[in-house]
């Protein structure tokens, strides 16, 4: 039996070598491509890539034309929780398994969301500007709000939002959440409908997957329904937010500020005005980042592919594919 080939589709900001070594030591061949995320860019495959049976995907676009050129692929493992870079309908039609990262950076993303919320509420940027210019307390114009009088709203209530609720509940006066797929919440969190979430949240933190239904869903209608003077935090996907509508909401005073770890079309345009807007805190998609999470982001996708190669199926999958005979023994 020839060694199965696993194609790493793109070079991200993570070092793929540990993941490739894990697969190669187990009896696989690996190859690294540089496929684009841009849907209009040409997809150039390395020689021999057509025999790949599995993909490890960073940001690369996985669509029908690419899969037509990779007819043997039966498993796609992502280096992220999101799978929006994959044409799910096409993968389902072909019986391809999709497995994403679950829990690799739950603690980190929750902590980053809370950090951004507190930085907005405590006017951290303005305070740093005062001290940098030689000023002191009396130069700081905005007066922070008392956190115990504020409501933290969680749009989406999955693993990360639940962890955020745990660590933020002692700080905020109340925590509310909306998720149409969740029927029960732990003590200290009140489940509400979407309209009430928007109306009651002083800080609204987004924890939604990106899909055709959620893309741009935080736009003019949502901002107009939000509590006046609220802050927005987004550590999920940049495309969830209509950024033109966000600027309008900031200009009108409907929103007090925003903190974004993600922007649309990453890597974001260096000229994106949100990067320099004094009302907006932007971090460079680092919510997931820690020494522990880096190891999991590199090794877990490779381990997921190994499970599929050895068993022919996956117990934990974002998309269940067609069970096959194991392609790798041991």
Half-sphere exposure of 81 (CA within 13 A, CB side): 19
Taking every pair of C-alpha atoms in the chain, what is the biggest distance, in angstroms? 75
Active site residue 123: no
Contact present, 82 and 100 (Cβ < 8 Å): yes
Residue 320 domain flag: no
Q: Which residues contact 149 (CB under 8 A, 6 or more apart)?
A: 173
Active site residue 178: no
Pair 166, 36 in one domain: no
Residue 55 has pLDDT above 60, yes or no: yes
pLDDT at 207: 98
Instruction: Let me know whether 71 and 215 are in one domain.
Output: no
20 plus 47 within the same structural domain:
yes
DSSP state of 62: B
Is the pLDDT confidence value at 1 over 60? no
Q: Are residues 114 and 226 in the same domain?
A: yes
pLDDT, position 151: 98
**What pLDDT does residue 228 have?**
96
Residue 236 located in a structural domain: yes
pLDDT above 80 (res 329): no
Q: Say which residues have a Cβ less than 8 Å from residue 270's Cβ, sequence separation at least 6.
A: none
Are residues 207 and 146 part of one domain? Answer: yes
Is 285 one of the annotated active-site residues of the chain?
yes
- The helix (run of H) or strand (run of E) holding residue 222 is helix 220-225
Q: What is the radius of gyration, based on Cα positions, of the chain?
A: 22
Residue 65 domain flag: yes
126 and 246 inside one domain: yes
The percentage of the chain sitting over the pLDDT mark of 90, rounded to a whole number, equals 90
261 and 135, same structural domain?
A: yes
Indicate whether 319 belongs to any domain. Answer: no
Question: Using CA atoms, how far apart are residues 108 and 156, in angstroms rounded to an integer?
Answer: 17
Please tell me which residue in 237, 243, 254, 256 is annotated as part of the active site. Answer: 237
Q: Which residues pair with 8 in a beta bridge?
A: 32, 56
- The residues, ordered by sequence, that sit 6+ positions from 44 with a Cβ below 8 Å of its Cβ are 33, 34, 35
Provide the number of structural domains found in the chain. 2
- DSSP state, residue 147: G
User: In terms of domains, do 123 and 86 share one?
Assistant: no
191 and 261 fall within a common domain: yes
Q: The domain containing residue 22 runs over which residues?
A: 5-103+291-311
Nearest to 179 by CA among 164, 170, 168, 190: 190
- In this structure, are 161 and 23 located in the same domain? no
Residue among 11, 88, 279, 285 flagged as catalytic: 285
Computed over every residue of the chain, the mean pLDDT equals 95
Do 205 and 304 lie in one domain? The reply is: no
Residue 99 pLDDT: 98
Reply yes or no on whether the pLDDT at 178 is more than 70: yes
CATH number of domain containing 243? 3.40.50.720
By percentage, how much of the chain surpasses pLDDT 70?
99
For residue range 120-170, list pLDDT tens digits in order.
Answer: 999 999 999 999 999 999 999 999 999 999 999 999 999 999 999 999 999
Q: Facing residues of 177 across strands?
A: 154, 191
CA–CA gap between residue 32 and residue 38 (Å, rounded): 18
Does any domain span residue 87?
yes
Whether residue 261 lies inside any domain: the answer is yes
What are the φ/ψ torsions at residue 148 (nearest 5 degrees)? -70, -10
Which two three-digit tokens encode residue 76? 């796609």
Q: Is the pLDDT of residue 316 over 80?
A: yes
- Separation CA 127–CA 218 (nearest Å): 29
**What is the tens place of the pLDDT at every residue in 79-88?**
998 899 999 9
pLDDT digits (tens, 9 = 90+) for 184-212: 999 999 999 999 999 999 999 999 999 99
Of 107, 125, 266, 313, catalytic: 266
| pLDDT level of residue 330 (50, 70, 90 thresholds) | low
Domain match, 146 and 264 both: yes
């Amino acid at each position: 039996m020839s060694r199965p080939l696993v194609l790493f589709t793109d070079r991200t900001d993570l070092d793929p070598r540990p993941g490739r070594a894990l697969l190669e030591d187990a009896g696989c061949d690996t190859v690294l491509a540089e496929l684009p995320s841009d849907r209009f860019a040409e997809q150039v495959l390395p020689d021999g890539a057509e025999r790949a049976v599995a993909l490890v995907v960073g940001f690369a676009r996985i669509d029908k034309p690419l899969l037509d050129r990779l007819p043997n692929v039966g498993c796609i493992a992502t280096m992220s929780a999101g799978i929006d870079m994959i044409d799910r309908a096409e993968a389902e039609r072909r019986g391809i398994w999709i497995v994403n990262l679950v829990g690799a950076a739950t603690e980190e993303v929750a902590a980053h969301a809370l950090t951004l919320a507190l930085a907005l509420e405590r006017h951290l940027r303005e305070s740093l500007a005062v001290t940098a210019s030689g000023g002191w307390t009396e130069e700081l114009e905005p007066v922070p709000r008392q956190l115990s009088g504020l409501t933290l709203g969680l749009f989406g209530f999955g693993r990360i939002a639940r962890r955020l609720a745990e660590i933020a509940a002692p700080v905020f006066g109340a925590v509310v959440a909306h998720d149409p797929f969740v029927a029960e919440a732990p003590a200290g969190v009140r489940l509400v409908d979407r309209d009430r979430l928007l109306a009651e949240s002083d800080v609204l933190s987004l924890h939604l997957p990106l899909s055709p239904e959620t893309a741009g869903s935080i736009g003019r209608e949502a901002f107009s329904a939000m509590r006046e003077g609220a802050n927005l935090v987004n550590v999920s996907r940049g495309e969830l937010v209509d950024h033109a509508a966000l600027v309008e909401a900031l200009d009108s005073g409907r929103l007090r500020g925003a903190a974004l770890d993600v922007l649309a079309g990453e890597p974001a345009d260096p000229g994106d005005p949100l990067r320099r807007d004094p009302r907006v805190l932007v971090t460079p998609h680092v919510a997931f980042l820690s020494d522990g999470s880096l190891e999991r982001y590199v090794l877990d996708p490779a381990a997921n592919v190994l499970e599929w190669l050895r068993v022919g199926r996956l117990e934990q999958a974002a998309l269940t594919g067609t069970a096959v005979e194991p392609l790798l023994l041991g």
